[in-house]
Amino acid sequence: MNKFNKSYIFGISMVSAMGGLLFGYDWVVIGGAKPFYERFFDIASSANLQAWAMSSALIGCVVGAVVSGVISDKFGRKWPLLLSAFLFTIASFGTGFVSSYTLFIVFRMIGGVGIGLASALSPMYIAEVAPSHLRGRFVSLNQMTIVIGILAAQLINLLIADKVPVGA
């Protein structure tokens, strides 16, 4: 019988599942930021620009999901997951520091690529490292972290909902 270090496997599975957490968080948090970036980029009167700001990350998601298979076949699962984490980091800082609407959209798309990669690769990596008799439990961690990310984003959105200063 093979012996497995369940603590180690759980640890690396949870680190991999952080892709799911960021996926859920990034997907939902933009809704709470809407009043702020609408005023900041002066797009409150343009439904088209508002919609593009909300949905632009989905373009990146499609790209990330489409290339995830090819990238993971060539480089394995670990390095593309690290690339996803890097893209999340770049997108987070980028969307927070830019002063142009166009660059905001570019960084939203970069974050979307990270989401697309993570959504495909995190459960795949977990399935590969988990022993077969525990695979379902460990892979479900990724789904749980997606839901936790969505919940966290909604809680943050609730906390910032009424804090847009008058005349901002």
State the pTM of this model.
0.86
Q: What is the CATH number of domain 12-160?
A: 1.20.1250.20
Region 130-137 average pLDDT: 89
pLDDT digits (tens, 9 = 90+) for 68-90: 999 999 999 999 999 999 999 99
Task: Read off the pLDDT of residues 113-124 as tens digits, 9 standing for 90 and up.
Answer: 999 999 999 999
Q: Which long-range contacts (CB under 8 A, 24 or more apart) does 66-71 make?
A: 66/116, 67/116, 67/117, 68/116, 68/117, 68/120, 68/121, 69/120, 71/117
Is the pLDDT confidence value at 1 over 60?
no
Count the alpha carbons within 13 Å of 70 in the hemisphere toward its beta carbon: 5
In the chain, domain spans: 12-160
Amino acid at 102: T
pLDDT given at position 61: 94
